[in-house]
Structure 1
């Protein structure tokens, strides 16, 4: 009997809003090699820390592993309206649970538009492995001190939730605005019991994940305290979270760069800033 393929619930119809101009984003990606993009900001994010930064619409952001494997937890907001932010669950439905080139990260209701489009991914060939894992995860979310206290009875202030909370404070954002993340470079899946699992990060020194901003953005990134996740974050040995911590040897910095395309480049390609679906919806929810 031939197995029936189950179609995605949300279909990408020809010419529809989910269809991506691959030729355009390929051209964006090529500017990394032809020297036409200009570096406007770069920094190294130390282990177990967080940082927030602004990205102008049309700019290109690259997250890198300068010293080896390391997971990064990414949050994204509209710069002009932080109520609009990345919506991990809808992105899973519209794109996939593990994202790569041409996928978009979508914003929450009542906005619902692509905030970024992925233009580069050195791990794009890391498909479903023998354990069923894929990379760049939207299934899980950030580690946090509340679940750590619940599971271990210990306090720890450098989980990704805390790192992101500290990172956005200078921009006037508060803890409740930290949201579900994209786990960049993280390999995850669901086991035979439909339970979430994480594997050692497959990234190597020099790997990268790159996206183009579809509107003005505020981004924040945490270098996960689990590092490359080669050691368990909870369970046996978690008492080491106080004092000497053997997982520190698994932690490495991440690099971030932001590039700008030449004046007029985007206009010449016909690119337009993304428009919220809330502008298009004319109803009032039946009220």
Structure 2
């Protein structure tokens, strides 16, 4: 056990210092949510991809379209990657999304892209689990705090050679979709939005926890594609993540990804966001 140092005489005063929000987001450009929701209401379905249990698939969504991820057969969580369709180096930045919006995202919040672009990639337009909020354990849904289950951590903690982790599934799906080798595809797989997953941090040890997801068949989360997107979604081998997430023991189910095209004229006032305007002429 690690020795704990004796607290100083002013320890309680130090603990009582008020916190300060690192990134106040009241000046963050707001999504035109009313516009998106009106357009979504009349949008026409144009494509769908069924992601098998314990597997992953890629899908493409043009800028200005919508995509929905749905639970269709049983309680199931998914790990979502997003890339710029024409430039894989621009990808979802979970850490900055967390810093801007918090540990979990829902309606009106956005998935932001990596440096140097730092722009919205997708906006949450509707979330059937928005009622869940934050539970008594500090848990909530759709987190940007976890990474993704992966074979390297499994090997580190338990010498487990499991090959259907979300990292592995996403790597294979990206390689298949783009005609890459697994070696070429793997570096592009990145930290995820844990769709439907219910997570938080323990109050006593600060450890990342998961609990049974509240998702049920028919639940969904709708996104608006702000740029041309390539998505990758893994139906996690943990199922609803009530007990474990890297084994064949949990009951697992498919996830459905549907793409919707807005009617002509529904988004006439919208334009795809430009890359971040930071001036690098004087150096980084």
TM-score, structure 2 length as denominator? 0.87
Are residues 233 and 73 of structure 1, via their aligned partners in 2, closer, same or farther at CA, if it must alter by over 3 Å?
closer
Consecutive unaligned residues of structure 2, counting only runs of 5 or more, are 1-15
Q: 1:178 aligns with which of 185, 189, 213?
A: 189
Query: Deviation of residue 285 (structure 1)?
Result: 5.4
Q: 2:116 matched to which residue of 1?
A: 110
Q: 1:194 aligns with which of 190, 206, 213?
A: 206
Q: 1:91 is paired with a residue of what secondary structure?
A: helix
Is structure 2 residue 11 aligned with structure 1 residue 10?
A: no
User: Aligned Cα RMSD in Å?
Assistant: 1.8
Contact 1:73 / 1:181 at 8 angstroms: preserved in 2? yes
- Counterparts of 1:74-113 in structure 2, within 5 Å, are 74-113=80-119
Are residues 5 and 274 of structure 1, via their aligned partners in 2, closer, same or farther at CA, if it must alter by over 3 Å?
farther
Q: 2:33 aligns with which of 22, 32, 45?
A: 22
TM-score, structure 1 length as denominator? 0.87
Are residues 48 and 286 of structure 1, via their aligned partners in 2, closer, same or farther at CA, if it must alter by over 3 Å?
same
Q: 1:264 matched to which residue of 2?
A: 265
Contact 1:201 / 1:230 at 8 angstroms: preserved in 2? yes
1:32-79 Cα deviation digits (max 9, x unpaired): xxxx21111112211100001110001100000011210100000001
Is structure 2 residue 221 aligned with structure 1 residue 218?
A: no
Contact 2:76 / 2:254 at 8 angstroms: preserved in 1? yes
Q: 2:278 aligns with which of 261, 272, 281?
A: 281
Query: Deviation of residue 4 (structure 1)?
Result: 9.3
Q: Distance in 1 between matches of 2:65 and 2:17?
A: 42
Q: 2:217 matched to which residue of 1?
A: 205
Contact 1:25 / 1:102 at 8 angstroms: preserved in 2? no
Are residues 150 and 38 of structure 1, via their aligned partners in 2, closer, same or farther at CA, if it must alter by over 3 Å?
same
Q: 2:270 is paired with a residue of what secondary structure?
A: coil
Of 132-141 and 36-45, more deviation after overlay is shown by: 36-45
Q: 1:58 is paired with a residue of what secondary structure?
A: coil
Q: 2:172 aligns with which of 154, 161, 166?
A: 166
Q: Distance in 2 between matches of 1:257 and 1:5?
A: 45
Q: Distance in 1 between matches of 2:222 and 2:21?
A: 25
- Counterparts of 1:227-266 in structure 2, within 5 Å, are 227-233=239-245, 241=247, 245-247=248-250, 250-266=251-267
Q: 2:4 matched to which residue of 1?
A: none
Q: 1:84 is paired with a residue of what secondary structure?
A: strand
Are residues 6 and 28 of structure 1, via their aligned partners in 2, closer, same or farther at CA, if it must alter by over 3 Å?
farther
1:173-207 Cα deviation digits (max 9, x unpaired): 61000000000000000102111100011101100
Contact 1:28 / 1:119 at 8 angstroms: preserved in 2? no
Contact 1:58 / 1:215 at 8 angstroms: preserved in 2? yes
1:254-284 Cα deviation digits (max 9, x unpaired): 11100000122211xx11101110xx22224
Runs of at least 4 residues off by over 6 Å: none
Consecutive unaligned residues of structure 1, counting only runs of 5 or more, are 235-240
Contact 2:101 / 2:109 at 8 angstroms: preserved in 1? yes
Q: 2:72 is paired with a residue of what secondary structure?
A: coil
Query: Deviation of residue 152 (structure 1)?
Result: 1.7
Q: Distance in 1 between matches of 2:237 and 2:48?
A: 22
